[in-house]
Amino acid sequence: MLPLHLSSLFSLFCLLNTLTMSVFGNRLVAVLAELGQRGGILKFVGKLALLWGGIRGALSLTDRLILFLRISERNLFQRIMGFSFMVLVLWSPVVIPLLPTLVQSWTISASTGIVGDACIIGLYVSIMILVMLWGKRIRGYENPVEQYGMNLASSS
C-alpha cells in the first residue's frame, strides 16, 4: 500500500484545479449543478459540483491575493492577519451553504450533527490547503509538508 502524503494530495488537488479552471471546467460545474435540480442522487452530485466550483474559485482568489498583496514583504502581524482572512476565504464555500442549518440548530439548542462535523472538516482542509500555498508562495519551499514536519508517512 502506498503511503499517503499531504503534499501528493495537494499536488493532485492543484492539478485537478488547473485542469478544470478552463472553460470546460466551468461548463462541467454548471451542467452538474443543473442536473442537481432533478432530485435523487443527482441532487447530491449537483451540490458537490457547486462545492467544487466554490473551492476552485476560493483557491484561485487566495493564490492571486498572495501574489497581489505581496505578503512575503509584509511584517509578522500583517502576515498573520492575511493568513487568517485567507483561511476564511477558503472556508467560505463550505460554511456559507451550511450556515442556515447551523444557525437553526443553535437557536433551538440542538446538536449540529453532521453539518457541524462538515464545517470542522472544511476548516481543517482549508487550513491545510493554505499551509501548502503559503509554503510554496511565501516561503518558497519545494515540499512544504516535509519542511513543516507534517509528513504522515513514518520516517523509519
Q: Render pLDDT for 9-18 as a digit per residue (tens, 0 to 9).
A: 555 555 555 5
pLDDT at 119 over 70: yes
Closest CA to 122 of 88, 150, 156: 88
Domain ranges of the chain: 7-147
Burial readout 30-54 (b: 16 or more C-beta within 10 A, e: otherwise) = eebbeebeeeeeeeeebeebbbbbb
Residue 135: the pLDDT is 86
Q: Point out the least confidently predicted range of 1-5, 20-24, 80-84, 115-119.
A: 1-5
Distance of CA 70 to the CA centre of its chain: 21
| pTM more than 0.85 | no
Q: Render pLDDT for 30-71 as a digit per residue (tens, 0 to 9).
A: 666 666 666 666 666 667 777 777 888 888 888 888 888 888
